[in-house]
A and B are shown apart, each in its own frame.
Chain A
Amino acid sequence: MSTIQPIAGELEPHPDVALVEQARGGDVSAYDTLVRKYDRQIFRIAQHITQNREDAEDVMQDAFLKAYQKLDQFQGNSKFYTWLVRIAVNESLMRLRKRRTGKMVSIDEDIETEEGSVPRDLADWAPDPEQNYGQAELNEILRKTIQGLPQGFRIVFVLRDVEGLSTEETAETLGLSIPAVKSRLLRARLQLRERLSRYFHRKKGAEK
């Protein structure tokens, strides 16, 4: 049985610290390195939250520009990446609010579900179930499935499981308590698992 190792926060000084220092001193190429290092992640996070390609492009630009302007405020007691993610999450939520004027958008919405209930009608999955789908089809399934999660669950799952932030970093980034992050993560994982089961379950009569 494979074990998924947690991605723990490093204890040694992070290599980004030197780049941030150089960028603060006016070295734009140092900032260029930081942008290239994290642009894909920031774009992904923005896509997951806004669920809109144009918004994600705008968020990515705005987040990196804002971070550059605010470099002096970066304390260094959190990782640069976590700090950047927080800016990108806030930009994404702001963008959503603009789009859905009048509708409240927050990471607290839609979280009224049964706490950690035991899954029902549990069917095992086929071995390597993703092999049964083409790449484009699989991506569509994965996108559709995660888009169906309540926003507050989706953000926690993306930060914690896809982007590899620790529970503490996720809590800090979203302004949530650690128990709130843990409870959302469990429910997000279980809901995704249940939804993916529709596509990945072992066919009846198939060999074990």
Chain B
Amino acid sequence: MTCSEFLALLDDLIDDSVTPETRAELQQHLHGCEHCEVTLSTTRKTIEIYRSHEIYDLPSGLRERLHAAIMSRCKKGC
């Protein structure tokens, strides 16, 4: 397996949607290729960081204000 072939399957590997056979081939490539190993681990980390950090917070004061505005209009039938 070449690095390009590995990369084409990177998302499927990360999203855990590869067959056991393909996974074995990917793992085999990883053993001998530090470049792809780093690509995989840092791409995983990228996703994890964006998932675990709320970069656009909705402060509770604003949340309540928006909520009240939505519900008062819904009660009037919008």
B18 to chain A, nearest CB (A): 11
Q: What 1/0 flags go to A40-83 for Cβ under 8 Å of B?
A: 10011001100000001100110011001100000000000000
| Bound CA span A185–B29, Å | 22
Q: Please, which residue of chain B has its CB at the minimum distance from the CB of A48? A: B56
B59-78 with Cβ < 8 A to chain A: 62-63, 66-67, 69-71, 73-75, 78
B47 neighbours in A (Cβ, 8 Å): 4, 161, 189
Asked if A65 and B4 make an inter-chain contact with CB atoms under 8 angstroms apart, the answer reads no
Size band of the interface chain A makes with B: 35 or more
Q: How many contacts A-B (CB < 8 Å)?
A: 122
| Bound CA span A11–B14, Å | 22
Asked if B78 and A162 make an inter-chain contact with CB atoms under 8 angstroms apart, the answer reads no
| Bound CA span A63–B12, Å | 33
Tell me whether A68 and B39 are in contact in the complex, defined as CB-CB below 8 angstroms, given that A56-B56, A125-B45 are known contacts.
no
B13 to chain A, nearest CB (A): 9
Q: Any chain B CB within 8 A of the CB of A31?
A: yes
A48 neighbours in B (Cβ, 8 Å): 56
Asked if A186 and B15 make an inter-chain contact with CB atoms under 8 angstroms apart, the answer reads no
| Bound CA span A10–B66, Å | 30
Tell me whether A139 and B16 are in contact in the complex, defined as CB-CB below 8 angstroms, given that A64-B70, A122-B35, A189-B47 are known contacts.
no
Asked if A142 and B55 make an inter-chain contact with CB atoms under 8 angstroms apart, the answer reads yes
Q: What 1/0 flags go to B34-54 for Cβ under 8 Å of A?
A: 010011011111111111011
Asked if A2 and B11 make an inter-chain contact with CB atoms under 8 angstroms apart, the answer reads no
Q: Any chain A CB within 8 A of the CB of B17?
A: yes
Asked if B44 and A36 make an inter-chain contact with CB atoms under 8 angstroms apart, the answer reads no
Tell me whether A57 and B66 are in contact in the complex, defined as CB-CB below 8 angstroms, given that A28-B71, A65-B78, A69-B78 are known contacts.
yes
Q: Please, which residue of chain B has its CB at the minimum distance from the CB of A43? A: B58
* Total contacting residues, chain B, CB less than 8 A: 40
- The contact of A122 among B38, B44, B50, B73, by CB within 8 Å, is B38
B58 neighbours in A (Cβ, 8 Å): 39-40, 43-44
Q: Please, which residue of chain A has its CB at the minimum distance from the CB of B65? A: A57
Asked if B48 and A142 make an inter-chain contact with CB atoms under 8 angstroms apart, the answer reads no
Asked if A118 and B4 make an inter-chain contact with CB atoms under 8 angstroms apart, the answer reads yes
Residues of A participating in the B interface, judged by any CB pair closer than 8 Å: 1-6, 28, 31-32, 35-36, 39-40, 43-44, 47-48, 56-57, 60-61, 64-65, 68-69, 116, 118-119, 122-125, 129-130, 138-139, 142-143, 146, 157, 161-162, 182, 185-186, 189-190, 192-193, 196-197, 200
